Amino acid sequence: MANELDIILLASGEEYVLVLPGNGDDEGDLDVLDYVRFTVDGELPATIRMNVAGNG
């Protein structure tokens, strides 16, 4: 696995809802296995919210 930085660009002032179905340990989250930077394209912050869609 390479140790490269991945950049995720988010729109300024926007809200993102993270919906990842699954069960148990795989439910509602991201398993980040490398370097990640979240960047906003303006002055207002972006918001990331979690919405659990599974049964666990």
The reported pTM is: 0.67
pLDDT of residue 28: 64
pLDDT of residue 11: 98
Instruction: Summarize the confidence of residues 24-45 as an average pLDDT.
Output: 85
Which residues, in sequence order, are CB contacts of 48 under 8 Å at separation 6+? 10, 15, 16, 17, 18, 38
Band (pLDDT 50/70/90 cuts) for residue 53 is low
